[in-house]
Amino acid sequence: MARYARVIGWGKYLPDRVLTNQELEQLVSTDDSWISSRTGIRERRIAGADETASTMALNAGKEALEVAGVQADSLDLVIAATCTADHVFPACAALVQDSLGAKTAAAFDVNAACSGFIYALAIGYQFIATGTYDNILVVGTDIYSRILDWQDRNTCVLFGDGAGAVVIQACDSSPGPVSFVLGNDGSGAGTIYTPGPCGVNDGRYFIRMRGPETFRFAVNIVCQATKEVVAASGFKLSDIDLIIPHQANTRIINSAARQLGIPPEKFFMNVDRYGNTSAASIPIALCEAVEEGKVKDGDLLVLVGFGGGLSWAAMVLKWEPGEAAPGA
């Protein structure tokens, strides 16, 4: 008998601290007009001294479990997508598993940078499709403020901190992931990277990025991956109700929309408020799209991301959370 999965719960966490473009003007040679015109970002959230990738993931995960109506001790697996984990090891997911009280759940991390959440969601789906697990928590969480050079205006204005999560559960019908594509071009690994572990603030481990190369890659791969994943689903681009892209830059998203011939209103964007939250950006955007009523039961969604690696990932997701999940 075929096994399928559906998203039954969702949650997000954003730190309280808001850092505006006007405040950044006091830290680095930039201004609000320069930032907003080139990125669309107006503010971002910055984690407090007592917050980490795992504490943010914990908060998002708790909210997702509450929406799903699933107890932590019913979880079979916790997957955390992150490239800014609290430690080299143990895994961020292991800390979340313990803090939630998910005592019988396996736990591991996935690092595909900003594409990580879709990678993790695809992995979780495979565990359910094979009959191995029934309830899985998938979290995207990143704390880029710890790896930024606050004197480099080409990077420090772009990123923010946050976490987003979903609970996926086995079901007999066929909502949930319809198709997905994952990809990577390791020859571009030097385009955007961090040389060492998170939290060592001595200058050696700040994020490095070649902006123009990243921009060109991002626009092309969003178009390519979106076309490929929709073709694999058996649907057409015109059947897609909403595209939720990685929230890196409004110019990237608008350029991709033009190349795809899709109206920009079919792309959900919240990058203006949060900046690029890496692996957290797509689940945060998904949560907000649901909260704002832009996702309805039965809708076909495309999730599409890109990031360091150079990695990319896309998924066609049918939104049918079921009657048990509130807020649908």
Before 14, cis peptide (omega within 30)? no
159: number of CA atoms within 13 Å, CB side? 28
Determine the distance from the C-alpha atom of residue 146 to the mean position of all C-alpha atoms in its chain, rounded to a whole number: 18
SS3 content of the chain, % helix, strand, coil (to 5): 40, 25, 35
The answer to whether 55 touches 46, Cβ cutoff 8 Å, is no
- Bin 17: left if φ > 0, else alpha if -120 < ψ < 50, else beta: beta
Find the catalytic residue in 59, 92, 184, 246.
246
Active-site residue, 276 included: yes
Find the catalytic residue in 184, 198, 276, 287.
276
Find the catalytic residue in 59, 92, 111, 114.
114
Tokens at residue 197, please? 């572990």
Active-site residue, 83 included: no
Rounded-to-integer distance, Cα 262 and Cα 230, Å: 13
Query: Torsion over CA of 144, 135, 306 and 239, rounded to 10 degrees?
Result: -140
Sign (positive or negative) of CA dihedral 170, 175, 179, 180 = negative
Active-site residue, 114 included: yes
Three-state SS at 93: helix
Catalytic center residues: 114, 246, 276
